[in-house]
Chain A
Amino acid sequence: MFEDYIPFFIQLAIASGLSLTLLKGGELLGPSRPNRIKIMPYESGMDPVGSARQRYSIKFYLVAMIFIVFDVEIVFLYPWAISFQDFLAAGVGLEVLGIVIVFIVILAIGLIYDIKKGGLEFD
């Protein structure tokens, strides 16, 4: 089972090696003459005002939280999707389909509730 993934990790290692080479190559070959103006963060030519690590809109947090909920629910659908043909062959397809439709309807109600509450309004 694990042997199947060895080629994948070989590719990951070579890709990381390439990535590291590009990163270090750029650092070694390029000049390095920093000065105060050069390392100033870009802010349309002005001196930067305050820190960039500021508070930002709560909507991004909301999107992330809703994403987690739906992503986990979609993950639950994967085991069903891969074995649905086996269920059909075993003759219990209709029951399994009914259960999954109930699950998806609950998920959809959650999405409709969220849209109605304005959790996804970006204006």
Chain B
Amino acid sequence: MGLPWYWTAIIAFAIINFLLISASVLVYAERKVSAAMQNRPGPNRVGPAGFLQPFADVAKLLLKENIVPAMANPFVHSLAPFLMVAIAMTAGALIPFARGVVIADTDMGVLVLLALTSITVYGVTLAGWSSNSKYSLLGGLRASAQMISYELSMGLAVLSVVLMSGTFNLVDIVEGQSGGMAVLGWNFFKNPIGALLFIVTAFAETNRTPFDLPEAEQELVGGYHTEYSGMKFGMFFLAEYVNFFVASFFIVTLFFGGFLVPFEPAMISIFPSLDGSILLGAMQIGTVLLKAGFFAYLFIWVRWTLPRFKYNQLMTLGWKYLLPIALVNVVVIAIIMTVMQYL
């Protein structure tokens, strides 16, 4: 990274603001999409077509009282939402938005990504434990059991990508998908089972329906954030939306060609001046946003379409189906690679 540190800081600040704004857009999108699916208007009073509703909600949450329940541990009670938001925002540093536009271009990007997803489990567990409420404790325990169960399959799905790319660097993983016709070089076409596993586990890791048991309101009230109010609750809410948006970016980066524009080499051979130009960078950012936007829409779509799993179904799916499938997937890919080497 040749940039001086203050430029990095400015870009990092910009990306965090981008994530904040996209979170509010996603909250709005979720409410509008769910309204459309349930044949009702949704938010339509604040601003044009209700677009300013999320901002009004943030102002409301900021001005609400922060209630810490009796016997709760006040430090841990604040630490949990702090961890959730800080970690969700930090993961944005690893996303390659365009060629050369990534904050932390490290050789260990994949490992840092897995480490960050693991820390989110702490936020949820601490929130459940510190509130001194039975609903919160059960919600937190369920969430941590669920997240660690699916983390194994997620680790193996990522492992299959690392196996094919031979690198932990997320930018190199994206560049490694540039072969083939237009989109056929994407890891999704080389490793469809790994891609599906990663998408399913991403839903489970971000606690989205059909894996939102930690906050199953019919049985656990609000789950791990039952005892949170005001902005602390808002922070969990923000972290949820940032988490699934960032997860969409990682689905795109690992399996759907990241910032690669389809037919990019062909376009460069026709217009040689395009190579390395700002226009190409803008096209790459547009491409990655379009792809990630599709997966963010998928997260919302699934939430309002599928019912929730039962807890034993969730554990059975994670341990008895996804984990063996992920192991077999890794072995099969390694065997195919070896066979191709010796042919």
Task: Tell me the chain B residues, 1-23 only, with Cβ under 8 Å from chain A.
Answer: 1, 5, 8-9, 12-13, 15-16, 20
* From B1, B78, B81, B85, contact of A18 by CB (8 A): B85
Task: Tell me the chain A residues, 1-34 only, with Cβ under 8 Å from chain B.
Answer: 3-8, 10-12, 14-16, 18-20, 22-23, 25-27, 29-34
Task: Tell me the chain B residues, 119-136 only, with Cβ under 8 Å from chain A.
Answer: 131-136
Please indicate the chain A residues that have their CB under 8 angstroms from the CB of B71 in the complex: 41, 51-52
Tell me whether B166 and A82 are in contact (CB under 8 A). yes
CB distance from B144 to the nearest CB of A (A): 8
Q: How many residues of A contact B (CB 8 A)?
A: 71
Tell me whether A19 and B85 are in contact (CB under 8 A). yes
Tell me whether B12 and A3 are in contact (CB under 8 A). no
- The complex places the Cα of A3 from the Cα of B3 at a distance, in Å, of 12
Given A52-B134, A94-B338, are A26 and B232 also a contact pair (CB < 8 Å)?
yes
Please indicate the chain A residues that have their CB under 8 angstroms from the CB of B232 in the complex: 23, 26
Secondary structure class of chain B's binding surface, majority of residues: helix
Tell me whether A18 and B89 are in contact (CB under 8 A). yes
Q: How many residues of B contact A (CB 8 A)?
A: 89
CB distance from A56 to the nearest CB of B (A): 6
Tell me whether B12 and A4 are in contact (CB under 8 A). no
Please indicate the chain A residues that have their CB under 8 angstroms from the CB of B327 in the complex: 104, 107-108
Tell me whether B148 and A11 are in contact (CB under 8 A). no
Known contacts A42-B226, A54-B134, A97-B338, then 7 further A-B pairs from the complex at CB < 8 Å, ordered by chain A residue: A8-B106, A11-B104, A15-B92, A18-B20, A56-B141, A60-B141, A94-B338
30 CB < 8 A contacts A-B? A4-B1, A8-B93, A8-B94, A8-B104, A10-B5, A11-B16, A14-B9, A14-B16, A26-B64, A27-B66, A29-B62, A30-B64, A31-B65, A32-B65, A39-B67, A43-B133, A51-B71, A53-B137, A54-B137, A56-B138, A60-B144, A71-B148, A71-B151, A71-B155, A84-B334, A93-B338, A94-B342, A97-B335, A101-B334, A122-B316
Chain A residues with a Cβ under 8 A of chain B: 3-8, 10-12, 14-16, 18-20, 22-23, 25-27, 29-34, 36, 38-44, 48, 51-54, 56, 59-60, 63-64, 67, 70-71, 74, 77-78, 81-86, 88, 93-94, 97, 100-101, 104, 107-108, 111, 115, 120-123
